Structure 1
Amino acid sequence: MSKFALKTTLPGYLREEQGRIEGIARDYGLDFFPTVFEMLSYDQMNEIAAYGGFPTRYPHWRFGMEYEQLSKSYEYGLSKIYELVINNNPSFAYLLEGNSLTEQRLVMAHVYGHVDFFKNNFSFRATDLDAHGNLSDPMRRAEPFNPQRKWVDKMANHGQRVRRHMDRIGVSKVEEFIDFCLSIENLIDPWRPFTPQRPRDS
């Protein structure tokens, strides 16, 4: 559960709408993870968006920079985040406080489409975890299909690990190492898990 839980539960009228919309989505054949909706202020929404859509991450200056950019963009009327959805099982979806009822209904329906896609699209199998929290083989799909995706927990655990390293060897050294890692982030091939492995020549 996110750190905003209990403070951000949906009001009763939106819980009723959620049940109705979920039923309609299932009637149309969508197959999605259980979905937990929470309501956030625009500050909270920008904070989670700055963290890449997760409520808890490791400490790093980049997230503050992202938050400032998102906040200014919203305040100047240049952008608005209507919702965030996490590829998790159960899935977490954040609605923006202040949206009209019509917007909230549309966003909820949109979220169920996202979560169906997360669960069933081949490309997202690369985000499945095994019982030990490691990535599982995306080429295999067990039936019935109910993958373990605990990315909220995994991100929180990563954050705790980084904080422990910072306590042990210092913030500057760890932050510098993270800077180096992030500088090559765009060189990672997202299709690598789906590429058949060629046998190596001996």
Structure 2
Amino acid sequence: MANLTLELERERVRIEKAAREVGLDFFDTIFELVTYDQLNQIASYGGFPVRYPHWRFGMEYESLSKSYEYGLSKIYELVINNDPCYAYLMEGNEFLDQKLVMAHVFGHCDFFKNNYWFSPTNRKMMDKMANHATRVRRYMDRFGVEQVENFIDLCLSLENLIDRYSPYSPKKTPEPPKDLSPEDEGDGVERGQERGGPSSRRALAGTPKIHGKVHQS
């Protein structure tokens, strides 16, 4: 990876200024030049430079690499929803293409920052992904690569069944149990507990069960 050339950096400043003048509001955006192979590697990781080890990422890399080499597809840019945003430009692009891509990226970054769909996302996602990778590698050292990889396979088999709208759905709060009257507290419940009668069973049956939920964003 490399910083932008002087010519591209000059154009980046001009394009960013023009984007803000028309009303776009986005996080600071860092551009980096990468080779097509580096870009395919990042793209195979879902757009993040560091991920946990898994065979699926290698399979995706092979698919992207062959598609590019056979002239079937080409990635012009890759931008990550992060604060600051990171955008990768392919070195082989024409100068005009690079300018168009940078303008396109600022539109993405405005969308990341202001669209409601992205509001619950972690703005330090690159750090989070790197932490996940470290954690999974630690599990592999502890439990073995095969066992952890099989577990990840099972988890990924469910990824298309996750409700993508769940983070935006109102959460239902369980109703608290109704307060017992003094007569109930001093009479029915105590006798039921002493004798094992129905009073204790009714009291237990009315107790709400609270289950935690984990949402993926």
TM norm structure 2: 0.79
- Residue 184 of structure 1 pairs with residue 158 of structure 2: yes
Deviations 1:125-172 (A, max 9, x none): 1204xxxxxxxxxxxxxxxxxxxx111111011000000110111100
Gaps of at least 5 residues in structure 2 are: 176-207, 209-217
SS at 1:98 equivalent: coil
Q: Which residue of 1 aligns with 2:192?
A: none
**1:198 shift after superposition:** 2.8
Give me the whole-angstrom Cα distance separating, in 1, the residues matched to 2:79 and 2:67.
Answer: 20
Aligned-partner SS, 1:127: coil
TM-score (normalizing by structure 1): 0.85
Root-mean-square deviation over aligned CA pairs: 1.0
Runs (4+) of structure 1 exceeding 2 A deviation are: 198-202
More helix by share: 2
- Does 2:130 align with 1:156? yes
Correspondence for 2:79: 85
Pick from 82, 98, 104 the counterpart of residue 98 of structure 2: 104
Tell me which of 37, 40, 52 is aligned to 1:43. Answer: 37
Gaps of 5+ in 1: 1-6, 129-148
Query: For each residue in 1:51-86, what CA deviation from the matched residue of structure 2 results, as whole angstroms up to 9, or x when unmatched?
Result: 000000000000000000000011111100000000
- Distance in 2 (CA, whole Å) between partners of 1:63 and 1:154 is 18
| Shift of residue 11, structure 1, vs aligned partner | 1.0
Identify the match of residue 22 of structure 1 among 10, 16, 24: 16
Instruction: Tell me the distance in 1 between the aligned counterparts of 2:120 and 2:72.
Output: 34
Q: Distance in 2 between matches of 1:187 and 1:22?
A: 39
- Choose the corresponding residue for 1:118, options 99, 104, 112: 112
Q: What does residue range 41-80 of structure 1 map to in structure 2 within 5 Å?
A: 41-80=35-74
Q: How many residues align?
A: 176
Which has the higher Rg, Structure 1 or Structure 2? 2
Aligned identity (percent) is 65
